[in-house]
Each structure stands twice: as structure tokens, then as C-alpha cells.
């Protein structure tokens, strides 16, 4: 790998070390005379690091979100700029994150989805252009990832059928947004870097055009940011009343993703969330 990277970078690789993180393949730090880069390697039968590179490039082209520059890409190899910072967020950094995501969410599209399918945690994420947000979220997020969990043996038929019935009743809980918004799609703390008061990078995106509340809900699920973030985002964009209830529905999707990837406690959390939403719908 060292020789291959030297050919790509045109510089001697002085040191190569493994980094933590990454649901797909292995991640390395390569140090050259000119600095350091991040290297992802996917030796699976169907590598898709070119999709990750595409998403980073689209974010760089279409928004002000700080993302690593793509230096070289093949389906099985991705070389990127190494951004400074770490995943620790002061209140000032959280406010900066809110400003960056508010700007990202200002970029719209004629419909929900994307011009090609993307990935989340290495899993396929279908993005057919769809006029209705509720229809898109029901079919291409909840039911699609539910089927993936069912086929992988993570959930049983009974739980999938409950999920599917719930997806048929989303119009009782969710609302159509004013317009589709470009989202990062995977904003947990490990995918964000900061340095003091500034956010220095967003990593590993799972982009598509969506209701921006789905991004905000994901942030609450893993406590990526706290009150300072939400206060600033509300100042800039407004958060509609009732978000606390809707976020439970939106977070079914990341729970499905994690249930598919890891099983275990995420399946229990998914089951509990479905029960809570079913109870709320029954009272309406």
C-alpha cells in the first residue's frame, strides 16, 4: 500500500498507521513530507468508496459545509485531505455547526431523493425522485431498511409488518416541508470535527434531499449537539412545534440502520420506539 500511495501522491510515504472508525473497509493515516492524508481501503467484492467520494464532492460544490477534499478515488480506494480537529464540541462550536447545517438545508431541489443512490454506513440508500416527502420516507427509508433488516435476520416478520403499518399512517404524524433540503444524513459526533469555536469538518455523509427535521432528529438520537445548537438553528430556520413527537418517527430510520449493522440493543430500541408511536397513533 505504501508503494501504491507514493505513486498516487507523488511523494514518499514516511509513515502509515491505522485509524479507528469507518463502517466500510480500513482507514489509515499516511504521512508524507508535505503533510498527512486519510486513506480508506475497501477490499470487499463490491467496493463503493467512489460513492462516498461523490457525496463529499457534491457537498463541496453545493454548500459551505467543510468536508475533506478528495485527492484520489477508485471503488476500492479513497485518498482524502486530513482535516484538523476532534469530536469535542464547545457551545460556540455547536452554534457554528447550526449555522453550517442551516446553510446546507437552504439548498433545495424540485423533489425528494437524489440524482443517484447513496450509502449510509456502507448500506444501500435508494433515492428515487419523489414528490411527497411522507411517501419517500415511508417507502424508501422505513420499509426499504426494514426489508434489509428482515432479510438479514435482524428483525422478524411480525416487527416488519408493524413497521410497515406504521409507515402507512405517517400522514397522521408528519408534515410536508416547504421544500426539499439537502442534508448530510449522518451527523453523529464521530463524523464531525471541531477546533475551539469552529467546526473544521463533516465526514462520511449520506446525502439526499429531505425534510431538514430528519437531520435534527438524528442529532438528538446520539446527542451529537445540545441546547446551544438547537437554539441557534431555531433562530436561523425555526423549528416547528411538535418536533419532539415527530423526531421519534424520524429516528426509526437510523435505528433500523444500526439494527441492520449491529443488531442487539438497537433492535430493542427500535421495538420500543415502534410501540411508543403505535400508542400515540391509537390515542388520536
Q: Is 186 a catalytic residue?
A: yes
Per-residue CA distances from 17 to 14, 26, 48, 121, 139 (Å): 10, 11, 22, 22, 41
Residues 227 and 99: beta-carbon distance below 8 Å: no
Residue tagged active-site, from 186, 195, 204, 234: 186
CB atoms within 10 A of CB 71: 15
Give 211: exposed, middle or buried? Use CB within 10 Å, 0-12, 13-18, 19+. Answer: buried
Rounded to whole angstroms, the Cα distance separating 22 from 19 reads 9
Buried/exposed 265-283: b ≥16 CB within 10 Å, e otherwise: ebbebbbebbeebeeeeee
The residues annotated as belonging to the active site are 186
Amino acid at each position: 500500500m505504501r508503494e501504491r500511495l507514493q505513486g498516487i501522491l507523488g511523494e514518499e510515504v514516511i509513515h502509515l498507521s491505522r485509524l479507528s472508525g469507518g463502517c466500510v473497509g480500513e482507514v489509515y493515516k499516511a504521512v508524507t513530507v508535505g503533510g498527512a492524508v486519510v486513506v480508506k481501503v475497501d477490499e470487499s467484492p463490491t467496493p463503493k468508496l467512489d460513492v462516498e467520494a461523490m457525496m463529499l464532492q457534491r457537498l463541496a460544490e453545493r454548500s459551505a459545509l467543510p468536508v475533506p477534499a478528495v485527492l484520489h478515488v477508485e471503488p476500492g480506494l479513497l485518498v482524502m485531505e486530513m482535516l484538523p480537529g476532534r469530536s469535542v464540541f464547545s457551545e460556540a462550536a455547536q452554534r457554528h455547526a447550526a449555522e453550517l447545517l442551516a446553510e446546507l438545508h437552504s439548498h433545495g431541489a424540485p423533489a425528494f431523493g437524489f440524482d443517484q443512490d447513496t450509502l449510509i454506513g456502507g448500506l444501500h440508500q435508494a433515492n428515487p425522485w419523489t414528490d411527497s416527502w411522507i411517501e419517500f420516507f415511508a417507502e424508501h427509508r422505513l420499509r426499504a431498511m426494514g426489508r434489509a433488516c428482515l432479510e438479514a435476520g435482524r428483525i422478524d416478520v411480525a416487527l416488519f409488518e408493524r413497521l410497515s403499518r406504521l409507515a402507512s399512517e405517517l400522514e397522521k404524524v408528519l408534515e410536508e416541508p416547504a421544500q426539499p433540503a439537502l442534508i448530510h444524513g449522518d451527523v453523529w459526533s464521530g463524523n464531525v470535527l471541531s477546533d475551539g469555536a469552529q467546526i473544521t469538518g463533516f465526514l462520511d455523509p449520506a446525502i439526499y434531499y429531505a425534510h431538514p427535521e430528519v437531520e435534527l432528529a438524528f442529532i438528538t438520537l446520539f446527542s451529537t449537539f445540545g441546547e446551544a445548537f438547537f437554539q441557534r438553528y431555531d433562530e436561523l430556520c425555526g423549528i416547528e412545534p411538535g418536533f419532539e413527537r415527530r423526531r421519534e418517527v424520524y429516528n426509526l430510520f437510523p435505528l433500523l440502520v444500526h439494527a441492520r449493522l449491529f443488531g442487539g440493543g438497537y433492535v430493542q430500541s427500535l421495538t420500543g420506539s415502534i410501540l411508543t408511536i403505535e400508542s400515540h397513533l391509537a390515542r388520536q
